[in-house]
């Protein structure tokens, strides 16, 4: 890996850890906020409510519910095998996640990750979120490298799309 790339960016949830979040319960906590604005949704996953709230201009009202659930989920997260590659990587590393930045940092702390991380870019760190390339490009920039010299490691189709849009290589775990 070190011969082909100058740096590696990792997704968090499903890649380095598995956050212990009950997304359905969190959705049920968010729905009254949306109803107060005349918005009805039958989504069962809290993250599916985020674009609904954004379209209505009330995302900032549901963000605290998402962040609270994610931070709690980070404190109770399961460490995945890819975390060892992250910790032991000879290359500079960063995180680019759909989760909030605080939850990403909480997960690293929970699992005793003490290595230098050039950047932690969550959905609240920049204006756009994955699969838009902006979060990944912000992580690449913090690493001081170029997209074509960077590997993005993730677990989802959205991560693959993000990597393609940003011009980085991609490896699925």
Question: Same structural domain for residues 59 and 87?
Answer: no
Does residue 2 sit within a domain? no
Q: How far apart are CA 147 and CA 150, in angstroms?
A: 5
Report the pLDDT value the prediction gives residue 161, as an integer from 0 to 100: 98
Question: Same structural domain for residues 14 and 96?
Answer: yes
Report the pLDDT value the prediction gives residue 61, as an integer from 0 to 100: 97
> In angstroms, what CA-CA distances link 105 with 1, 43, 133, 171?
25, 28, 21, 23
Question: Same structural domain for residues 98 and 129?
Answer: yes
Does residue 13 sit within a domain? yes
Does residue 1 sit within a domain? no
Last residue of a domain, one of 56, 75, 94: 75
Q: How far apart are CA 59 and CA 52, in angstroms?
A: 8
Residue-number span of the structural domain to which 124 is assigned: 7-18+79-172
Question: Same structural domain for residues 105 and 48?
Answer: no
Report the pLDDT value the prediction gives residue 1, as an integer from 0 to 100: 52
Q: In total, how many domains does the chain have?
A: 2
Does residue 137 sit within a domain? yes
Q: How far apart are CA 149 and CA 126, in angstroms?
A: 22
Question: Same structural domain for residues 53 and 92?
Answer: no
Question: Same structural domain for residues 42 and 83?
Answer: no
Which parts of the chain register pLDDT below 50?
A: none
Cβ distance 158 to 130 under 8 Å? Answer: yes
Question: Same structural domain for residues 54 and 104?
Answer: no
Q: How far apart are CA 167 and CA 169, in angstroms?
A: 7
Question: Same structural domain for residues 86 and 166?
Answer: yes
> Alpha-carbon Rg of the chain, whole angstroms?
16
């Amino acid at each position: 890996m070190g011969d082909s790339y100058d740096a590696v960016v990792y997704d968090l949830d499903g890649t380095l850890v598995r956050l212990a979040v009950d997304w359905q319960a969190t959705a049920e906590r968010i729905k009254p906020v949306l109803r107060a604005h005349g918005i009805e949704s039958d989504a069962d996953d809290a993250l599916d409510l985020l674009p609904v709230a954004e379209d209505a201009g009330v995302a900032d009202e549901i963000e605290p519910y998402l962040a609270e659930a994610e931070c709690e989920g980070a404190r109770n997260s399961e460490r995945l095998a890819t975390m060892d590659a992250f910790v032991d990587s000879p290359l500079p590393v960063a995180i680019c996640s759909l989760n909030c930045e605080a939850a990403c940092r909480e997960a690293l702390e929970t699992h005793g990750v003490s290595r230098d991380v050039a950047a932690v870019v969550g959905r609240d760190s920049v204006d756009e979120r994955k699969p838009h390339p902006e979060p990944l490009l912000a992580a690449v920039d913090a690493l001081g490298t170029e997209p074509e010299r960077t590997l993005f490691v993730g677990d989802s189709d959205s991560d693959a799309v993000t990597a393609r849009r940003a011009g980085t290589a991609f490896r699925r775990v």
